[in-house]
Amino acid sequence: MSEKTFPLSGLQAGSAAPLASRLAATSAPGAPETQAAPSGRIPVLDGLRGIAILLVMIFHFWHIGFTAGPALWERVYSNAANWGWAGVDLFFVLSGFLITGILYDSRQDEHYYRVFYARRTVRIFPLYYGFLVLFYIVTPFTLALLHRSQYSPVYDTVTAKLCAWTYTLNWLIGLKTMRAASVSVQHFWSLAIEEQFYLVWPFLVLTLSRRRLMGLCAGLIGFAFALRVALYHLQLPDAAYTWTFARVDSLAIGALLALAARHPEDWKTAGKWVARATLPALCGVVALMALLDLRPQFMSGQFVLQSLNYSLIGMFFGGCLALAVSAAKGSLAFRSLNSPFLKFFGKYSYCLYVAHQPLMILFVKAGIHTDRLTGVLGNKVLAVVVMNGLAFAVSIGIALLSWNLYEKQWLKLKELPFLHREAEA
């Protein structure tokens, strides 16, 4: 079956071949050439995933372990690190793009649901539930045996624990604020959103045509914005931040790009919008953040501004994803996103995400935070460097051990014949 090349980006259109394979195909003359790895992965997306986890880790290391002072450099550092929360939205855009692409390209598979859910389970559940067992069962039990129960990091109610075990922690946090769960598991709200997305999206992808799916994505983007406005108006800012329907727009933006990438004219249109909207979206985010910082209290119109901020962040990261996928081999963007540094963090991002926040809580309990380190080292800048260096080093060590001794063993189950997609057979 012949394929057409996208004149704008070099992406290839085809009805069944996975996107990664089409990205490796020869581009039209004058179009950027985008490469896929032999494994079928798109390398630049690993780089984007690396950026996302770095943003999130820097944010939490600052938020948990740093006490800001009046010095100019401290205010600059705090303002910069505070942007790291947006890394979660980059994860959402990536998930929407990759999962939708996988599902759309496997719609003709006989065992569509079985293969998708089994492979997602093998990748996600072992680490997630392994951590919950360690956090909720092993640690309190061990400390009780040592007569040190007062050091237990678990203060969650039965409801909070049940929500953590069932991937519904985001709904509880939305109703009762972040304080509804232990700090060590608060960041799992985003994993809950993604798991809920995985639960529903395969049915919609299989049921609806590509055009209808694209229309649904556009509708979800608008709906999420309107819902956030309503939730802010009701003074439920945590719900606007963590409820699935209020944050589905970033997932929908990624999904919309994946669907557009499977038709040359749609991708050409998407490319035009990306070129026109990505930089203005970033400028809008910067302007809104500055405006909201100037007026931190609820005011007339703030509900709309807060909600619009999330929308613009999703649009910006969607544009970054499209530009990354379209980047010519040898370009600065391609080489940067394919750097070993970013790809390393992208590869181990899942465990880094799960482990880094509880690790930072442990550090603080052990006195490894900027206040204590400043007293020991005599310099706050050095204290920040040491704290972040130790936090990153230990997080990386945990991720490497987890991958090689635990996660990779579970992933071997993907080699079982009944978990193969037809395109891989």
**pLDDT for position 14:** 35
Report the C-alpha gap between 51 and 124 in whole angstroms.
20
How long, in residues, is the chain?
425
The ranges of the chain with pLDDT < 70 are 1-41, 147, 149-153, 292-303, 422-425
* Domain locations in the chain as residue ranges: 59-147+157-424
Burial degree of 41 (CB within 10 A; 0-12, 13-18, 19+) = middle
Nearest to 221 by CA among 24, 112, 89, 392: 89
Contact 255, 97 (CB under 8 A): yes
Secondary structure (3-state) at 108? coil
Q: Is the dihedral of CA 79, 80, 83, 88 positive or negative?
A: negative
**pLDDT for position 300:** 47
**pLDDT for position 31:** 33
Secondary structure (3-state) at 13? strand
**pLDDT for position 36:** 45
Helix axes 302-326, 87-105, angle to 10 degrees: 50
**pLDDT for position 152:** 67
**pLDDT for position 292:** 67
Report the C-alpha gap between 132 and 134 in whole angstroms.
5
- Fill in the amino acid letter for 401: L
Q: What is the pTM of this model?
A: 0.88
How many C-beta atoms surround the C-beta of residue 51 within 10 A? 20
| φ, ψ dihedrals at 288, nearest 5° | -70, -40
**pLDDT for position 27:** 33
pLDDT digits (tens, 9 = 90+) for 379-396: 999 999 999 999 999 999
Give the helix/strand (H/E) hosting 4. strand 4-5
Q: How many CA atoms lie within 13 A of 236 on its CB side?
A: 18
**pLDDT for position 260:** 95
User: Which region, left, alpha or beta, applies to residue 2 given φ > 0 means left and ψ of -120 to 50 means alpha?
Assistant: beta
User: Which region, left, alpha or beta, applies to residue 177 given φ > 0 means left and ψ of -120 to 50 means alpha?
Assistant: left
**pLDDT for position 416:** 84
Secondary structure (3-state) at 274? helix
